[in-house]
Structure 1
Amino acid sequence: ELSAGETNEDGTVTGGTITSEVNGIVKTINVTAGGNTDPATAIMTIEVPDRGYTVSITVTSDQASKVTVGDSATIQTGYWGGSDLQGRLIGIRNDPTNPQTSRLLVFEVTGDSIESGTQVSVSIGQRSQNYDLIVPNSAVRSDANGSFVLMMTSKSSPLGTRYQATRVDVQVVASDDVNSAVTGAIVAYDYVITNSTAPIEDGMYVRLADNA
């Protein structure tokens, strides 16, 4: 809002005072002393901390289906990832660039060290649930008969201990980008094969990696 000042013959106003309707922090000023203003261009940008801050991330539709508005999120800043910020999911929207397969998760961010333009890392997980068996995704294999893992069993021989890959059928009940929760005829202390230097099949003998 422009008040006072003098109007020149050409209609320009000089010497006036610009007053904002809100209290906040001036982030940018788009004019210089002595310059003219354009009615279509904002003179300055004011950040209003009282209105809060939000951040949006793009996820797949499947990932979006695993979270709910109100879920808490971990907010990290900087190279080392530490911060005093807290996040809360306040909206799940269609991604305008890819509405068929993507969604936008909108988070409210609070904390003392937040300001507009801050680069943050957001992580949010499926609501807490306990699973008896969790294995790396690389351990889960599949074929026409379903999902399975290759469990490593040991057998003693005159030449020492030999290790054999044994197929165990499993059912994947939950998964993320790193691990899968499974059910099947394995227990927490069994060893499963996650990777190998050559293809492995059920019944084959294997050798442990040097650093195993």
Structure 2
Amino acid sequence: MISEKANEIFDKAIQDYHVHDQIDRPIINPYPPDSLERLLYLKCWIDTVQWHMEDEVRRPDIDPVEGLRWKRRIDQSNQDRTDTVEDIDDYFVRQFAGVIPEKTARINTESVAWAIDRLSILALKIFHMQQQTQRTDAAPAHISACRSKLAILEEQRSDLSQSIDELLEDIQAGRKYMKVYKQMKMYNDPALNPVLYTASK
């Protein structure tokens, strides 16, 4: 099952990051080039780094200049995240290139890779919520609330994992078909963001 493999890789990426817990530490991707596993590891590593960037930018005493620097890094990270999701979708487009959809086949509301994107974020939420349940400096009510939230997150991961596997089965059987739209983000593109292209004149 793809979801089982993805969840294992996401958990590994998160654990690997937290060995050093440094935003700027270079990624060491253990999987072969051009493999789905490599893309999944990269995807979750980007998400994990960005999670910690989002923490930094919310420091109440942050200098505005420093805050803007983090905001721009987060913007770039979002672009890298989107590019990687699209690479994962391209992988599945190639995988299912020979499948002939049934006449009654339907398109899904989101692509396989964007569903996998949500699975990666859930892995991060579960990891950090688990950390909250282990705090020794928090009140019992906080620990109890976090345990309840953790149970919900784990249920969400189980449900989403099943949905992803079922979607892939449907595509393989021709009951659904893949149609991928690029995100076409405009704010990072100097040819599409009016603030950027007017400033260059």
Q: TM-score if structure 1 supplies the norm length? A: 0.15
Larger radius of gyration: 1
1 or 2, which has the higher strand percentage? 1
Select the structure with the greater relative contact order (CA < 8 A; seq sep ≥ 6).
2
1 or 2, which has the higher helix percentage? 2
Q: TM-score if structure 2 supplies the norm length? A: 0.16
